[in-house]
Structure 1
Amino acid sequence: MHVVVPAACTLPTADQPVRLAEFDHLFTTAVRHVETISPTHAQLRLSGPAGLEATVQDLTARETACCSFFAFTVTPEPVDEGEALTLDVRVPAEHADVLASLTGRPVSRAT
């Protein structure tokens, strides 16, 4: 799958595959649904074991540090076991292709 890496990204090229692998792991283990609200706004529903929110907060904070055009909002959702959350991702119009590339990653099929 082709990944769009914008020129604005300050993450060293050698570290980019590692970061992408972190997103792929999150998407294949925790993301249950991706909804494209607009070309510049996506909403992801995630669920997983305790610690999921901390993992998502850490990953999105590190991503924002190198790609400051991302705006991530994590909203916890009530569940009986583990953790569930909604992750809103917004980008400026000039980075809509980056958002499409990110949200086009394979997601978990578990419910």
Structure 2
Amino acid sequence: MSDGHVTTDGSWVPDACTLPTVEQPLRLAEFDQFFRDAVRGVDRLSAQHLRLRLDGAQQTESKARELAARESSCCAFFTFDIARSDPDTLMLDVRVPAAHVDVLDALARRATAARTRR
């Protein structure tokens, strides 16, 4: 797998990720569950910028911050920003450099698919 390559099982784990391989399916499952529980909308603002509209619950914000921090520690190319647009809505912006657009594409597909399975 080359850097930024998305695996054939639909995951978005590139070689640049330093998370141990054995832990990757668990992290993917955590993201999928988070997407199912919290994502209310998926907006692609540019090739390198994805915005997830989340429910505004405090536990959603806590989980988003925790997942973003853990993901940033193993996949340093991700930039995550979390902000409230109003008391009931939380925005999670995810940005990647041009070399990792395919990873963001896969993340967007997973978020959209999980949202529709809710």
- Structure with more contact order per residue of length (Cα contacts < 8 Å, sep ≥ 6): 1
Distance in 2 between residues matched to 1:94 and 1:50, nearest whole Å: 34
Matching residue of 1:40: 48
Partner AA of 1:49 in structure 2? A
Distance in 1 between residues matched to 2:60 and 2:89, nearest whole Å: 8
Contact 2:56 2:90 in 1 (8 A): no
Look up the SS of the partner of 1:107 in the other structure.
helix
Distance in 1 between residues matched to 2:39 and 2:97, nearest whole Å: 23
Matching residue of 1:13: 21
1:75 paired with 2:80, answer no
- TM-score normalised over the length of structure 2: 0.83
Matching residue of 2:98: 93
**1:6 positional shift:** 1.2
**1:38 positional shift:** 1.2
1:22 paired with 2:30, answer yes
- Percent of pairs with identical residues: 48
Distance in 2 between residues matched to 1:108 and 1:9, nearest whole Å: 25
The alignment yields a C-alpha RMSD, in angstroms, of 1.7
- TM-score normalised over the length of structure 1: 0.88
Contact 2:40 2:115 in 1 (8 A): yes
- Equivalenced residue count is 107
Distance in 2 between residues matched to 1:48 and 1:28, nearest whole Å: 14
Kindly indicate which of the two structures has a greater share of residues assigned to helix.
2
2:115 to 101, 108, 111: 108
Look up the SS of the partner of 2:81 in the other structure.
strand
* 5+ long unaligned stretches in structure 2: 1-8
**1:60 positional shift:** 0.5
* 5+ long unaligned stretches in structure 1: none
Partner AA of 1:19 in structure 2? R
